[in-house]
Amino acid sequence: MTSKVIYTGNLRTENTHIKSGGTFITDAPIDNNGKGEAFSPTDTIATGLANCILTVMGIKARQMETSMNGAVAHVTKTMTSNPRRISKIEIAITMPAGFTEKDRKILEHTAHTCPVHYSLHPDIEKVISFDWSF
């Protein structure tokens, strides 16, 4: 088992990672009858893509004997209706300076091959951009 999810009422869930015991909550967003006091379930999907991208890039950077500590991903999720779903996820990644052009290409390719990227429906537009200047 990966996780346990409890519906606690008022459109909120409490989520527990079985192995670590880590927890987080989700709330329905304001535009869908909720309070918007925490990540919505669709926020966790969009954010999960950014987490996956940075993780696999970190693995690749470690294999390349370099560091990308301090890299930041800013996530924007766009919803559509009929049916209500995620239509676009934009991720703007700011990376530390000092990578060669070859290393940048390797890391950018790695970003586009993360498991979450492959798991999302192909109708979801995924826009991933990189700023290598920080």
Looking at CATH, the fold of the domain delimited by 46-134 is given as: GMP Synthetase; Chain A, domain 3 (3.30.300)
Residue 134 has pLDDT above 80, yes or no: no
pLDDT per residue as tens digits for the range 16-73: 999 999 999 999 999 999 999 999 999 999 999 999 999 999 999 999 999 999 999 9
**What average pLDDT does range 10-19 have in this prediction?**
98
Residue 132: both structure tokens together: 């290598």
Residue 36: both structure tokens together: 């918007």
What is the model's pLDDT at position 133?
85
As a whole number of angstroms, the distance between CA 48 and CA 60 comes to: 18
* Inter-CA distances, 112 with 15, 82, 121, 127, Å: 28, 28, 14, 10
Residue 106: both structure tokens together: 């390797």
| Band (102; pLDDT cuts 50, 70, 90) | very high
Task: Indicate the residue type of 130.
Answer: F
Residue 50: both structure tokens together: 């950014």
